[in-house]
């Protein structure tokens, strides 16, 4: 069942609750079909006693870790939050800092890869915020600015030159 696979993937990758109508739109299915498949997925995940559950609040659904694992998950997340950033995370964060607020699609176009997991990790670390969930628009957080020891994002090196709303190809040709 392709719809089941699609919905499972969407729930897995999403860093926020998803509405039924949103999943239907992405999966090219009707709300009724999505509702039927969500019921199956919820029963499968919540009855097997595994480490993943699907929770529901009105028309919003989210894949979450099982409550019995909360202590281990909290311990892991604490190390994730305080751990160093990967080169991919630093690159993503730099793009958001200089080009933000930025739509996720534009960010992925610049990086050339899917940024879902990196964005989730940066959100968890509190370095970025999602200023529009529907359009997936991201910007750096005040914590990011505070951790850099600056009082304004404009204090970043070459900020004025890199912030300009011009195609990246123009910026690259300036360097050469």
Q: What is the pLDDT of residues 127-152, one digit of tens each?
A: 999 998 888 999 999 888 888 888 88
CATH of domain 2-67: 1.10.10.10
pLDDT at position 81 over 70: no
Fold of 84-167: Arc Repressor Mutant, subunit A (1.10.10)
User: Cis bond leading into 101, ω under 30°?
Assistant: yes
Same fold, 2-67 and 84-167: yes
pLDDT at position 108 over 60: yes
pLDDT at position 24 over 80: yes
Domain locations in the chain as residue ranges: 2-67, 84-167
State the burial class of residue 122 (Cβ atoms within 10 Å of its Cβ: 0-12, 13-18, 19+).
buried
pTM for the full predicted model: 0.54
The answer to whether 89 touches 127, Cβ cutoff 8 Å, is no
Long-range contact pairs involving 18-26 (C-beta distance under 8 Å, separation at least 24): 18/60, 18/61, 18/62, 19/59, 19/60, 19/61, 20/59, 20/61, 21/59, 23/61
């Amino acid at each position: 069942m392709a719809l089941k696979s699609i919905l499972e993937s969407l729930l897995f990758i999403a860093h926020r609750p998803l509405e039924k109508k949103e999943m239907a739109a992405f999966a090219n299915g009707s709300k009724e079909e999505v509702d039927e498949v969500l019921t199956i997925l919820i029963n499968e995940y919540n009855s097997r006693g595994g480490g993943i559950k699907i929770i529901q609040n009105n028309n919003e659904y989210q894949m979450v870790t099982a409550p019995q694992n909360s202590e281990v998950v909290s311990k892991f997340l604490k190390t994730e939050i305080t751990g160093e950033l990967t080169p991919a995370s630093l690159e993503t964060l730099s793009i958001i800092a200089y080009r933000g607020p930025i739509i996720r699609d534009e960010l992925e176009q610049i990086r050339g890869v899917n940024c879902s997991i990196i964005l989730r990790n940066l959100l968890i670390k509190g370095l970025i915020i999602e200023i529009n969930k529907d359009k997936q628009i991201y910007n750096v957080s005040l914590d990011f600015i505070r951790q850099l020891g600056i009082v304004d994002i404009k204090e970043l090196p070459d900020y004025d030159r890199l912030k300009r709303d011009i195609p990246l190809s123009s910026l690259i040709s300036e360097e050469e």
